[in-house]
Structure 1
């Protein structure tokens, strides 16, 4: 197989419904570190 000449990337942009320290976002904030570690 030949050399890859490009990379595919995806960007998702969103607005939070509350501040990061809001109880509504506890599950989301807890998932940030594992997701960023895998990126």
Structure 2
């Protein structure tokens, strides 16, 4: 397992078998809620 979406390449290189991509999927939602 690894942490943030921005670190996925390092996580894969280090042998992570679970990748969490929450920030990659939800990056723009904060902006949408302000409209």
TM-score by length of 1: 0.21
Please say which structure displays the higher CA radius of gyration. Answer: 1
The structure with higher relative contact order (CA 8 Å, sep 6+) is 2
